[in-house]
Amino acid sequence: KNQVEQSPQSLIILEGKNCTLQCNYTVSPFSNLRWYKQDTGRGPVSLTIMTFSENTKSNGRYTATLDADTKQSSLHITASQLSDSASYICVVSGMDGGGSYIPTFGRGTSLIVHP
């Protein structure tokens, strides 16, 4: 069964500090891995998309890494801001038993940035 596990479940940091969120998956065969940011009451917003051949991708202060061998990804946030307070969701797309490519979502990491 395809699974995506994220850690930590929640994280509290001070404004200006860096942090790293983790994502482990068992999705196979693998198509791509995405990180999303979801503010409370809003739809998710895409941060990065990575395929099998990519191991690092940046989007401003967000840098995602992917190790396809160990099936692990991380999202590093540099110089955090109050507006970074949100849920960060890891999504891995792979093929299910019926031949369809479907996304499997992690439960998310809830990040709170304090002033």
Q: Which residues are near other proteins by CB under 8 A?
A: 31-32, 34, 42-46, 49, 51, 89, 91, 98, 100-108
Apex CA 105: angle with CA 45 and CA 47, to 5°? Answer: 25
Tokens of 42: 């809003």
Comparing CB distances to other proteins, the nearer of 10 and 46 is 46
Q: Is 29 exposed, middle or buried (0-12, 13-18, 19+ CB in 10 A)?
A: exposed
**Closest distance to other proteins from the beta carbon of 96 (Å):** 8
Comparing CB distances to other proteins, the nearer of 52 and 78 is 52
**Closest distance to other proteins from the beta carbon of 72 (Å):** 19
Q: What is the largest CA-CA distance in the chain?
A: 48
Report the SS3 class of residue 83: helix
Comparing CB distances to other proteins, the nearer of 84 and 106 is 106
Tokens of 33: 């891995």
**Closest distance to other proteins from the beta carbon of 39 (Å):** 11
Instruction: Check residue 78 and report its DSSP letter.
Output: -
**Closest distance to other proteins from the beta carbon of 18 (Å):** 25
Comparing CB distances to other proteins, the nearer of 63 and 104 is 104
